[in-house]
Structure 1
């Protein structure tokens, strides 16, 4: 029986929950509605949870409120995909419900679950029932119903899990696309797995206790990669990092104050914290400025000259060096992309910065924030190019305190069309309108392969089949890449289409792509066809029809 949970026990519960989900994430991934190789709900939730754990491990007080607040902050910065962002909002709401309690009981947990659901719903512009949101709401409401008569936390969580699984089984009736694919909601399943991991710890099942390994990836917490250099090149000798616990809202003003003391400056704020990274010769003066705003935590100072090293924030924390000699740019465009050819194409269309990612590799909120902070521009435009990255982009925008504008491109084809419509000489409103108009007009589709047997919209699909898909449906199923592609274009073409862009991936050679063009030219002699080497993974072809 557990009547109270303190900070130490809560840390262990969270780590065990993460471990349980991580071990079972492929079960969640397999619940993707489309049987394409990008089912990443379980992976995104696991990586988001890993980021939460990384931050929780820094808490040294036996205080449940501080532990859950750390989980909230860590999950926000590391959130990946829509499921990860929603999970971070659930943590945020749970933290609100716990408030400042050092120990939590069943009634507090029930209230926190209800607050978690309410916060997550507010974060989504158009909440959809039959998703993780529904599971969170039902669990929170049910917990509130029973908490007055259930003091044992173990019993409370066990009953909530039973209720949550009953609701999960009904999600196909709430969301027709789940019923067609004969699956339950992946995000809801992932949330219940986190609860199941927590319960098994509370019940003393040692098989699920986290086995910490030095080989386990520390995803999303700041990874500091060092490279030896000549110390004569080091202008500012101390790499200084810390967190300020504060309600101070003027992030830009504080960033400006610190810019006097050094370079490689990163200042971001969220949920009552400000995170700072700076290379400086006066770390003491920087810390004094920070103390004026609030309490300091996680202070880390490296003497780079003494160690003959400079901390380079590359893949996970790219070094921020805004050239103060250059005037502020009017625009800075950030695009999510993967594949050398696609990256070069976006750069040729005036994209300033590429965030590597896309299907199966959704960038986190922190990845997007780093790209935003790297800019020296009045207006920052972000192209997510994936529906599963939109929510993370929006959250990064909310946290950044910069002039950020999201053009809601849901795929690569839309992103390319948006950039074709972009004109750096035009005013912001006109550009945003033109880019939004462009993505609304383009028809996009992809060719990939099925990762499982299923039946969808009357089509029997076997594992390994080649499938032609749009964002909403699987239109063609077959065995040959070019044959499926040809049939897919036939289904999509109409009298208004005059240009077809074919982007071929890393698993298609140019000869095969040119053979497809010949097939299409014989059927559509007035169609202008452009061929682009994209080198993208997963998708043999990406099509853009305009």
Structure 2
């Protein structure tokens, strides 16, 4: 079976380039249906800006190692991550990079392992992960990749086996997006799918497109409930409450990280903490939390270290 596919570091760099372009094209529609965890209408923008930071970091990198490239991309994405969705994308890329260290060509078993690591890192980063979101798409993709690889009769290192997995995960991811509407009550009530889940599907579709060298038809997403409605934005009709999003980067040892996570869990929600890279005394961590009052979170953060790259965003602001 002669399969046209490219799976080296250049193809993976092309993937990130395509993701930036596609998320940019879809950002307005993703913003329009962004109502969970808060209806602030910025999921599309956050995914796009985070992906752009990842791609910019490796745009001039010359390496044959897929893992090295994705590690650099994920660290840049983490430092510049925007919102829940952007942070989880950065964490997912960091997880994918781990088993690909020194790898020059992606294969079916390596992709299955990379998707599994990305899923685990993303689910673990959240204090209270919620199904019916982009996490569910990550999980379905990883599970289907593993099952497809184990059941395949094809040579594991062959291009045909990689094509088989790529096709399987994209079909399954699409089904997972449809399922989000029934998994989360707020989505079911609004009769829409989850914005972050659609964004994750776009990212996986572009992976398949980049490796196989074909263009993804943007009209295929029109089937999703609410996705063809842009004006007015659906999120504008959803009650959003109040509060702020606080993000920062901070150096912490294991005890400091555990202490801070516990304190932030008590103060707010949507707590995401993920290591960016190792330091002499622990790790550099990216921190994300939604709280009623920013100073409460900042006091807790300053109590364990010295934060940098601090950003505070009003959750009532509608960017869409």
What TM-score do the two structures reach when normalised by structure 1? 0.41
Query: Helix, strand or coil for the counterpart of 2:90?
Result: helix
CA gap 1:415/1:398 in 2 versus in 1, 3 angstroms: farther
Which has a greater percent of helix? 2
Determine the structure 1 residue equivalent to 2:143. Answer: 141
Answer 1 or 2: higher relative contact order, Cα 8 Å, separation at least 6: 2
Runs of 4+ in 1 over 6 A off after TM superposition: 386-389, 396-402
8 A Cα contact 1:32 1:39, kept in partner: yes
Which protein shows a greater Rg? 1
1:4 and 1:105 in contact (8 A); partners too: no
Post-superposition offset of 1:143 = 0.5
Asked if structure 2 preserves the Cα contact closer than 8 Å seen for 1:3 and 1:106, the reply is: no
| Alignment partner of 1:132 out of 128, 131, 134 | 134
Match of 2:102 among 96, 100, 103: 100
* Counterpart among 133, 154, 160 of residue 163 in structure 2: 154
Counterpart-to-counterpart distance in 1, 2:180 and 2:39: 23
Alignment of 1:1-400 (within 5 A): 1-2=3-4, 5-33=7-35, 38-148=40-150, 149=152, 151=158, 152=160, 153-205=162-214, 368-369=248-249, 390-391=271-272, 394-395=273-274
* CA 410–5 in structure 1, closer or farther in 2 if over 3 Å, else same: same
TM-score by length of 2: 0.67
Change over 3 Å in CA distance of 1:4–1:207 after alignment to 2: closer
**Where do 5+ consecutive residues of structure 2 fail to align?**
218-242, 253-259, 305-313
Task: Determine the C-alpha separation between the residues in 2 that align with 1:200 and 1:397.
Answer: 28
Instruction: Give the direction of change, closer, same or farther, for the CA distance of 1:26–1:387 in structure 2 (3 Å limit).
Output: farther
**How far does the alpha carbon of each residue in 1:148-194 deviate from its partner, in whole angstroms, 9 at most, with x for none?**
52543334222211111112211122221211111112111101101
Deviations 1:361-417 (A, max 9, x none): x77x6xx339x9xxxxxxx9x99xx978853xx458998979x9x996623xx347x
SS where residue 90 of structure 1 aligns? helix
SS of residue matched to 1:369: strand
SS of 1:117 mapped into structure 2:
helix
Say which structure is richer in strand: 1
**Alpha-carbon separation, structure 2, partners of 1:67 and 1:407:** 25
5 Å-filtered alignment, 1:506-517, equals: none
Q: Compared with structure 1, are the counterparts of its residues 20 and 387 closer, same or farther at alpha carbon in structure 2 (3 Å cutoff)? A: farther
Q: Deviations over 1:4-59 (max 9, x none)?
A: 6111121112211221122111222122227x972111111111111110112242
* Cα RMSD after superposing both structures: 4.1
